Amino acid sequence: EAQVTQNPRYLITVTGKKLTVTCSQNMNHEYMSWYRQDPGLGLRQIYYSMNVEVTDKGDVPEGYKVSRKEKRNFPLILESPSPNQTSLYFCASSWEPNNSPLHFGNGTRLTVT
Amino acid sequence: DQQVKQNSPSLSVQEGRISILNCDYTNSMFDYFLWYKKYPAEGPTFLISISSIKDKNEDGRFTVFLNKSAKHLSLHIVPSQPGDSAVYFCAASASLILNFGNEKLTFGTGTRLTIIP
């Protein structure tokens, strides 16, 4: 089944404790992206990747890192999480950035205390 | 500054009637518009799109209308069904080539649609 898989689905952590949210897609998509969803703000892009080893900042990249060492995986790294990063995170992918819609994962709800 | 606005956080519609979801945008460079649908505990899924060279696009029960002069688009669902109950996100991009423009997609805040049986 074609899908974007995020792990974990739920995560509660404390301020400053490094964490990684994994994202993997099995559709051989070139383009991958991370979003956060917050009440009243909709979905905001954190980082995106046009292909392996090519990443770029979205609208809200502060406090996040990403890597794209292989095509299928695009982990989101929070080196020192803070409470304002409490949010619902979505990973998404598409064949190319301009020719097909995004396929989203089911989300990761992160709480930072 | 919210460049894509969905001013109705929620909407309730009787089953079988028409659902109309609205979206306004402020950036005149936007040339491609999309609607995504989201069920609870799932990620958004693509529903329908329209480029700025058209004013209407239809796909089954779903029709999107674009009014460029008013910077407004709307999604019509006819007839509404219980399975349409979800959150709907409007999105826009300045893609330059009139296609998806995923790397610079701006989403609205969403409208929760509830279909009443």
For chain A, list residues with pLDDT below 70.
none
Contacts of B100 in chain A (CB under 8 A): 94, 97-102
**pLDDT (average), residues B84-103:** 86
The chain B residues in contact with chain A (CB within 8 A) are 2, 4, 6, 34, 36, 41-46, 49, 89, 91, 95, 97, 99-103, 105, 107-110
Measured CA to CA, the distance from residue A65 to residue B79 in angstroms comes to 44
List the single range of A16-20, B42-46, B99-103, B107-111 with lowest mean pLDDT: B99-103
> Omega before B44 cis (within 30°)?
no
pLDDT at B101 over 80: no
Residue range B25-83, pLDDT digits in tens:
999 999 999 999 999 999 999 999 999 999 999 999 999 999 999 999 999 999 999 99
Name the nearest CA neighbour of A82 among A18, A15, A11.
Answer: A15
Q: Are strands B10-14 and B111-116 parallel, antiparallel or unpaired?
A: parallel
**pLDDT (average), residues B14-23:** 98
Task: Indicate the residue type of A12.
Answer: I
CB contact under 8 A, B103 and A50: yes
Q: What pLDDT, on the 0 to 100 scale, is given for residue B98? A: 66
Contact A33, A25 (CB under 8 A): no
Contact B23, B40 (CB under 8 A): no
